[in-house]
Amino acid sequence: MKVLLGGGELDTIVQALRMQGHTVIGPVMTNGVIAHREIHSAEELPVGVGEEQDGGRYRLVDTGTDERFAFSSPSESWKQFLHPPQALLVRAKRENGRVSVSEPEYDERPMAFFGVRSCDLAAIGILDRVFLAPDAKDASYAHRRTGLFVVAAGCANPASTCFCASMNTGPTPTAGFDLSLAELHRDGKIDYLVTSGSERGEALLESLPHRPVDADDVLAAETVHTTAVAEMGRQLLPEAPPLAAMNLDHPQWDDVAERCLACGNCTMACPTCFCNSTHDTTNLTGTEAERYRTWDSCFSLDFSALQDGPVRPAVKDRYRQWLLHKLVTWHDQFDTSGCVGCGRCITWCPVGIDITAEIAALAKEPA
Amino acid sequence: MIPVMYEVVSRSWDAEDVATIAVAPVGEAIVAPAPGQFTMMWAFGIGESPISIAEVQGDVLIHTIRGVGAVTAALTTAEIGEQIGVRGPFGRGWGIDFAEGHDVAVVAGGLGLAPLRPVVLGLLAEPERFGKVSVLVGARTPKGILYPDDLDAWSTSATVETTVDAAPSSWTGNVGLVTTLINKIDFDTTNGRVFICGPEIMMTSTAKAFTARGVPPQHIRISIERNMHCAVAHCGRCQLGSLFICKDGPVQEWSDVAQVLEVGGR
């Protein structure tokens, strides 16, 4: 089902989701970036805010328009809501030497993600494969995911760091959403072409005042798509990762290791990097313990540490692990790439290391 | 991720920092682990560590643990009656049937004999199913040779050879790497099966020594150690190439891992 909503009517979706009991989370301007926070109204979305992104660089810019989705990939993905940076796994008590353990209770309020970019939609699908695997289902992830309502939003203005088109993950959402928005900017007027992707998405649309879609609207949305593809700043050639995996001793690995700070920013910003650590805490008297799972990074030395030290002591080892996992071994493990082309690892790398440039160099025979 | 509670029912010290503890379920037990599988053992308020299984006696699990970190130190020093959490069993074990009808060489380095102990017990329990059994054990020092009483007992029905890296002058046994023992055994290199567990460098050099004698790489199995926090392929720490050692391992065919282990830092 496709309908047209006027620019001022976008909030009807937010309010309908809130009425259904969802915590609605959407893009907002905060601390000089676009980030994802709970919103109570579509009025909180950024208006006329685009951004310049490049290696190690992110700046918001005023587009001078009324567009609410003029930006590309926000500083944060949606990973933090489905796979929180810190999650309680186990609660335990010890009384008279007897230990009792319990699972924490889940937040019952379902979430709605509002304005999910196509790359990030693909990333959610990838996290699903990790945490909803039939032989290793994560109960808390499954709980959050089951209640989730997804409103996607196509990208009109990809950043210079974006390469979703070459990863076949965007810029226009094609599946995995309940509703998808295409923002149409015509003669100074904003409309939203809204497509339903599920029964509950369709039911929600039917409950809202809306107008039918005509051929001009569909054509306008297609133009947004083709323009965005043409403006895509970077690309990652599909033949590059397997070639790089053959070149494990390529001098480029040493070259990138000279620049890489092993800070792990790329893994934090990445919408699919899921690696983590688990640790215990106790109260002062030692009668209560909690086990927490927190995000971790394959760039930390401790990540691979065994009795005699880390398995990957050199930065070169760790960068190679990250890159080859993301682009090569992920396919063997989860039947998909671990990269969706959002470009965050490029933007948020303090020294601007570019995954597309590195993989291209690694795929070439060393000189 | 919720552990099942067990309590320590016995402990004996194998070396200064190595203890064998037996734990029995407080209530329900976990599924009985197969030889080569492992559990995640949890010390209350301290953390979890992957621990191999040295023996299963009904619901009782026997583990030999070196106390090197906070968790393993807490596990080895746990008092009798102290409660320990257990999750599992996890991973792909040795698969003793792999050796059916063939000679078997079991090669252990140091604490690597612990996860191989159920293999030897299994082989010797049904001698008619297997060919000649050889147990080769290497350790840094004579005191580091695990389960000396077992080795004595096994030597009546299997070839048992030991060697140490360094020893006082009173030592009358072998000195040298475990690979030096291979020529001492009667082993059918064409069809024989090899199980190896120990430090990674010991396993790779032993596997190469067997392949150099004509043993096909797919007839050799090793048990790989990697950092693990979850054991269900969610923490990402145990990756080796495409493998999650927690679920695809710890036991792997040498033919499947020789190449990835050859490149350092993977």
CB atoms within 10 A of CB B21: 25
Asked if B196 contacts B110 with a C-beta cutoff of 8 angstroms, the reply is no
> How far is the C-alpha of A348 from the C-alpha of A159, rounded, in Å?
13
Task: Report CB contact under 8 Å: B233, A280.
Answer: no
pLDDT of residue A233: 86
Q: Is the pLDDT of residue A107 over 80?
A: no
Taking only the tens place, the pLDDT of each residue in B217-258 is 999 999 999 999 999 999 999 999 999 999 999 999 999 999
Residue B59 has pLDDT above 90, yes or no: yes
Query: What is the per-residue pLDDT across B196-224, written as a single tens digit (0 to 9) for each?
Result: 999 999 999 999 999 999 999 999 999 99
Mean pLDDT of B54-63: 97
- Give the nearest chain B residue to A286 (CA atoms): B45
Contact B151, B112 (CB under 8 A): no
B201 vs A contacts (CB less than 8 Å): none
Q: Name the percent of chain A in helix, strand, coil, to the closest 5.
A: 35, 25, 40
Q: Examine the pLDDT at A108 and tell me if it is beyond 80.
A: no
Decide if B106 contacts B133 (C-beta within 8 A): yes
Give the pLDDT confidence score for residue B7 in this predicted structure. 98
If pLDDT is split at 50, 70 and 90, which confidence band does A346 have? very high
pLDDT for B265 equals 81
Dump pLDDT digits (tens) for B7-58.
Answer: 999 999 999 899 999 999 999 999 999 999 999 999 999 999 999 999 999 9
Taking residues A72-101, what's their average pLDDT?
A: 96
pLDDT at A120: 98
Q: Token digits for B214?
A: 């004509």
The predicted-structure confidence for A188-219, as pLDDT tens digits, reads as follows: 899 999 999 999 999 999 999 989 999 999 99
Angular region, B203: left φ>0, alpha ψ -120 to 50, beta rest? alpha
Indicate left, alpha or beta for B36 from its phi (over 0: left) and psi (-120 to 50: alpha): left
- Could you read off the pLDDT of B106-134 as tens digits, one per residue? 999 999 999 999 999 999 999 999 999 99
Long-range contacts of A47-54 (CB under 8 A, 24+ apart): A50/A157, A51/A159, A52/A159, A52/A160, A53/A159, A53/A160, A53/A161, A53/A162, A53/A343, A53/A346, A53/A347, A54/A160, A54/A161, A54/A346, A54/A347, A54/A352
- Interface membership of B264 toward A (CB under 8 Å): yes
pLDDT digits (tens, 9 = 90+) for B128-174: 999 999 999 999 999 999 999 999 999 999 999 999 999 999 999 99
pLDDT for A367 equals 74
Q: Is the pLDDT of residue A136 over 90?
A: no
The candidate with the shortest Cα–Cα distance to B113, out of B81, B147, B161, is B147
Chain B residues touching residue A286 (CB < 8 angstroms): 45
ipTM > 0.90 (yes/no): yes
Mark yes or no for CB contact A329/B241 under 8 Å.
yes
CA-CA distance, B64 to B56, in Å (whole number)?
12
The DSSP output letter for A365 is: P
Q: What is the pLDDT of residue B194?
A: 98
C-alpha angle B220-B223-B225 in degrees, rounded to nearest 5: 145
* Chain B environment of A98 (Cβ under 8 Å): 26, 83
The pLDDT value recorded for residue B264 is: 80
Report the 10 Å Cβ neighbour count for B128: 4
Q: Are A74 and A68 in contact (CB under 8 A)?
A: no
Least confident of A95-109, A152-166, A304-318, B246-260: A95-109
Say if residues B55 and B120 touch (Cβ distance below 8 Å).
Answer: no
Tokens of B6: 């067990």
Looking at chain A, the whole-number percentage of residues with pLDDT higher than 90 is 95
Residue A220 reports pLDDT greater than 80 = yes
pLDDT score of A365: 87
Confidence (pLDDT) at A135: 85
Question: A24-64: per-residue pLDDT in tens?
Answer: 999 999 999 999 999 999 999 999 999 999 999 999 999 99
pLDDT given for residue A93 in this prediction: 97
Return d(Cα A278, Cα A293) in angstroms, integer.
Answer: 4
List, in order, residues 6 or more apart from B84 with CB less than 8 Å away.
B5, B6, B7, B8, B23, B41, B42, B43, B44, B75, B78
B265 neighbourhood in chain A, CB within 8 Å = 311-314, 316-317, 320-321
Closest CA to A244 of A182, A143, A187, A328: A328
- The phi, psi pair for A306, rounded to 5°, reads -115, -175
Residue A238: cis peptide before it, omega within 30 degrees of 0: no
Distance CA B48, CA B5 (A): 13
Beta strand pairing call for B159-164 and B239-240: unpaired
Q: Furthest-apart CA pair in chain A: how many Å?
A: 75
Report the distance separating Cα A247 and Cα B24, nearest Å.
50
The answer, yes or no, to whether residue A157 has pLDDT greater than 90, is: yes
Q: Mapping DSSP to helix (H, G, I), strand (E, B) and coil, where does residue B105 land?
A: strand
The pLDDT mean for chain B works out to 96
CB B224 within 8 A of CB B232: no
Q: Kind and range of the H or E element at B134? A: strand B133-139
Quote the pLDDT of residue B153: 97
Q: If we measure between CA atoms, which residue out of B137, B103, B101 comes closest to residue B117?
A: B137
pLDDT at A34: 97
Whether pTM > 0.80 for this model: the answer is yes
B236 touches chain A (CB under 8 A): yes
- What phi and psi values does residue A264 have, to the nearest 5 degrees? 85, 5
| A chain contacts of residue B44, beta-carbon cutoff 8 Å | 92, 94, 99, 280, 282, 289
Placement of tokens 């969802």 in the chain? A22
CA distance A72 to chain B (A): 29
Q: What mean pLDDT is reported for chain A?
A: 96
Give me the mean pLDDT over the A243-263 stretch: 95
